[in-house]
Amino acid sequence: MSILINKDTRLIVQGITGREGIFHTSRMMDYGTQVVAGVTPGKGGEWVLEGKVPVFDTVHRAVEITGANTSVIFVPARFATDAVMEATDAGIALIVCITEGIPIRDMMKVRQYLDQQGSRLVGPNSPGLLSPGECKVGIIPGHITQPGNIGVVSRSGTLTYEVLYALKLQAMGISTCVGIGGDPINGTSFIDVLGMFEVDAHTDKIVLIGEIGGTDEERAAEYISDHITKPVVAFIAGRTAPPGKRMGHAGAIVEGGAGLAADKIAALEYAGVAVVEYPEKILDFLK
């Protein structure tokens, strides 16, 4: 069992003819994901990957022909917001945006539009989602994990990979991994994913990977205290980050005294979450 994606996911790749788009489309197909179409304006009528995937000029046309229900976006930042809204207008239920560097002002407009239309966005600046043995949407390496009962939600890509592989080495698997993205404005929050894991019968434990900047982890802590009955273990990156120093992600910056690692850790521990000092300690708790 999984959340958001599964074997029935029918995927469109926006920006499929670009270098990143074609590379990761191939990897997603190798994993078993049903990639039913690609979209690149001006390239409609072409086929890619040895004639396996048709390319359309618009998302609307791709959905009309293939019945796609999910889209993943590999387009430059200056085109990404239009790509998200195009997918929304075409009726795509789940949109995953890998693109980073989208201006915050643009994302505020996109988020408002999505809330009005009802589509779900994961990202931007997200590694995507992975449900082992079922579906992979994005850039999370498929070979570093296996099916199991642990749900993973994270703001960090590389830390997620480290944890997933460590779990696999200890014969532990996951139900679904969701990379919500590291930007200040995103489409899906910790709270959204935690709620899905809570009602998923095949997720028994939850791993939350956060980092400095913003207050998403503090809000997640409140939600966990009030709504989550399953065990949660967390790791917060950036404990030793200098104030005002951005650590990789656009959202990973402490400003005005908000977003400190110590505050996030305190809030999570108060909510009953086991917060570990190092990523590898997550395994000790899950055992």
143 part of the active site: no
Give the three-class secondary structure for 7. coil
Torsion, Cα 73 76 77 78, to 10 degrees, reads -120
User: Residue 227, class by beta-carbon neighbours within 10 Å (0-12 exposed, 13-18 middle, 19+ buried)?
Assistant: exposed
CB of 196 within 8 A of CB of 129? no
Report the 10 Å Cβ neighbour count for 270: 13
Catalytic pick among 24, 143, 202, 249: 249
DSSP per position, 87-117? HHHTT-SEEEE------HHHHHHHHHHHHHH
Decide if 175 contacts 2 (C-beta within 8 A). yes
Please answer whether residues 142 and 168 qualify as being in contact, where contact means their C-beta atoms are separated by less than 8 angstroms: no
- Interatomic CA distance for residues 115 and 2, integer angstroms: 24
Catalytic residues: 249
